[in-house]
Amino acid sequence: MSSQDQSFFNVFMVVIGAMVGIAVVLVIVARFVAGNTQLAWVKADPAYAAAVDERTGPVGRVSITGEEPAPAAAPAAGSAGDAAPAADAPAEVAKVRDGEEVYNTACMACHSSGAAGAPKLGDAAAWKARIAQGADILHKHAIEGFQGATGFMPPKGGQVALPDAEVIAAVDFMAAKSR
């Protein structure tokens, strides 16, 4: 290597080194700046938090006769940061829905038509032997799922997020309607 090449190479390395250094500084500055944008304030805004709660909240709300229906836009109690709980907050706490309601949302798909071998609602003949097993077995089969002679009952009808109490209510509703 001639001495000219050598000095070119040295200068070249210095330039590359300086550029790497600048890039690192830019990354650090960018991270710092990105952490201090408006977004932090936007997210802390109660109106924004309420809008997120509204979008991500449960689809349905329970209205009990005699109680004021909860305004649809009200965020669930306690979830909007430290916003003071509204006076009607207790009404917002998830209630166990009644059996008919649960049936209509989670069980009807199979049990109204008899799809996949499901015993039909109101079909006393199909339910007689099942009901005879006792309510505990029916509840267990509905909650944990059950492979029987006519088909497969998925755990909680496939809606694994349902509370056990709601599944039990739906089973009792179905059994009562099918005697």
Contacting positions for ligand HEC (CB under 6 A): 102, 106-107, 109-111, 116-119, 130, 133, 137-138, 141-142, 146, 148-154, 156-158, 167, 170-171, 174
* Nearer CB in complex with ligand HEC: 76/107: 107
Is the CB of residue 163 less than 8 Å from the CB of residue 105?
no
- Residue facing ligand HEC at closest CB distance: 148
* Nearer CB in complex with ligand HEC: 91/110: 110
* Nearer CB in complex with ligand HEC: 76/156: 156
* Cβ-Cβ contacts under 8 Å for 62 (sequence gap 6 or more): 95, 97
Q: Give the shortest CB-134-to-ligand HEC separation in angstroms.
A: 10
The first and second tokens of residue 22, run together, are 């600048």
* Cβ-Cβ contacts under 8 Å for 48 (sequence gap 6 or more): 42
CA within 13 Å, CB half, 168? 10
Q: Give the shortest CB-87-to-ligand HEC separation in angstroms.
A: 34
